């Protein structure tokens, strides 16, 4: 079956805004969500800042008596799903049996594991709260929304690290296209945690003050947290109920570098973009905007820019290519899902979000990175790049619905 798949709902929890409207308003204004970390003490670390979500009130989305059973990443996901469902205008009772949930992540509800470790090593096994053991496993990220909203179709968690959001959207697209589901809840979520913060510090991958993708003096990434959820729906069903349509998903590409656990590979990035364009049935000339992976690390940005120039050649000069990680930090498993939402809104509103903190051009990143200020431009077709540890790459293609 070749059913068309459209995006009819968007939900965001991020350091620059909760809900798509606040998120988008701050995104195109170039507002930074980077601040001092407050969730735990960073005094022993060389870095003290990140894209922490500061104003999240879980009681707006989850009954108080259930919050203790649901960890932070799952809370983010449930909140984003609720916002996306409300915005789509979909009636839950009418679609529950044909709706699935696929959530991408890097660390899942890792904070629950930290709690287990804290009480076990600090006291004894008997001091470990049993609920923390239930909250930690990765499958909880999709299980909680399935149980909370009553979705009874496909239920998966995809742990392909920083590309997991795109993997989730791509697989959900396949299920609807093949007639195995009518509606899919797709996206990603990841929380701030001491384990993640320690890991990226030990990899010497983090910038101390700000994230500067494509800048000559870029010093590394900033860690972030949040969730991005998209409601994917079969086109005829969406039209029948006069749903808002943000964009159409045309297809995606996947590749695996099979080369290094942390370093990206030029050939793998070329391959994933080529496959995405081919699988979507578009010409390269049709692409207007690329939401770059753009972490702000010296190697990643250089290789991504080289790969884009290799794939698009002279067409690169007409492309807008920006990294919203410059504002949010790297939200890991949520990153490409939140970036897919940014693509949908760029298509809908005709505005390309900027890459902030851009100061000195780098000849090895010869692109229009939309420096510091959003750009008004019609976006008909957008590519959403994501590259993960382990060489897991995913590129999603979205287009204005016609």
By annotation, the residues acting in catalysis are: 162, 293, 330
SS3 per-residue string spanning the chain:
CCCCEEEEEEEEEECCEECHHHHHHHHHCCCCCCEECCCCCCCCCCCCEEECCCCCCHHHCCCHHHHCCCCHHHHHHHHHHHHHHHHHCCCHHHHHHHEEEEEECCCCCHHHHHHHHHHHHHCCHHHCCHHHHHHCCCCHHHHHHHHHHCCCCCEEEECCHHHHHHHHHHHHHHHHHCCCCCEEEEEEEECCCHHHHHHHHHCCCECCCCCCCCECCCCCECEECEEEEEEEEEHHHHHHCCCCCCEEEEEEEEEECCCCCCCCCHHHHHHHHHHHHHHHCCCHHHCCEEECCCCCCHHHHHHHHHHHHHHHHHHHHHCEEECCHHHHCECHHHHHHHHHHHHHHHHHHCEECCECCCCCECCCCCCCCCECCCEECCCCEEEEEEEEHHHEEEEEEEECCC
User: CA-to-CA distance for 251 and 158, rounded, in angstroms?
Assistant: 18
Q: Please report how the helices 72-88 and 110-122 are oriented relative to each other, as an axis angle in degrees rounded to 10.
A: 160
């Amino acid at each position: 079956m070749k059913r068309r798949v459209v995006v009819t709902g968007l939900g965001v929890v991020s350091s620059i805004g909760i809900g798509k409207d606040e998120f988008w308003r701050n995104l195109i204004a170039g507002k930074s969500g980077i601040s001092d970390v407050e969730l735990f003490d960073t005094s022993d670390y060389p870095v003290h800042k990140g894209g922490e979500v500061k104003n999240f009130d879980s009681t707006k989305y989850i009954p108080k008596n259930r919050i203790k059973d649901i960890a932070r990443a799952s809370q983010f996901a449930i909140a984003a799903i609720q916002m996306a469902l409300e915005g789509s205008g979909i009636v839950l009772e009418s679609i529950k049996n044909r709706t699935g949930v696929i959530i991408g992540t890097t660390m899942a509800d890792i904070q629950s594991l930290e709690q287990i470790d804290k009480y076990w090593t600090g006291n004894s096994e008997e001091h470990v709260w049993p609920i923390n053991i239930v909250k930690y496993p990765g499958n909880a990220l999709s299980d909680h929304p399935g149980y909370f909203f009553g979705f009874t179709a496909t239920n998966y968690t995809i742990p392909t690290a920083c590309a997991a959001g795109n993997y989730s959207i791509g697989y959900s697209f396949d299920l609807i296209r093949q007639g195995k589901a009518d509606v899919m809840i797709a996206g990603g979520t990841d929380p701030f945690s001491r384990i993640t913060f320690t890991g990226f510090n030990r990899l010497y991958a983090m910038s101390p003050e700000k994230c500067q993708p494509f800048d000559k003096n870029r010093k590394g990434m900033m860690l972030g947290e949040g969730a991005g959820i998209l409601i994917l729906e079969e086109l005829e069903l969406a039209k029948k109920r006069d749903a808002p349509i943000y964009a159409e998903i045309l297809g995606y590409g996947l590749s695996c570098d099979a080369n290094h656990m942390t370093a990206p590979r030029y050939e793998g990035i070329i391959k994933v973009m080529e496959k995405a364009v081919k699988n979507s049935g578009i010409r390269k000339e049709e692409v207007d905007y690329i939401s770059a992976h753009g972490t702000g690390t010296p190697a990643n940005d250089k290789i991504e820019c080289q790969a884009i120039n290799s794939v698009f050649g002279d067409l690169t000069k007409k492309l807008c290519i920006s990294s919203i990680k410059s504002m949010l930090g790297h939200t890991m498993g949520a990153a490409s899902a939140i970036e897919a939402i940014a693509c949908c809104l760029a298509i809908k509103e005709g505005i390309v979000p900027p890459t902030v903190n851009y100061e000195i051009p780098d000849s090895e990143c010869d692109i229009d990175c939309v420096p510091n200020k959003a750009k008004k431009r019609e976006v008909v077709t957008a590519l959403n790049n994501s590259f993960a540890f382990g060489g897991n790459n995913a590129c999603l293609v979205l287009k204005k619905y016609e």
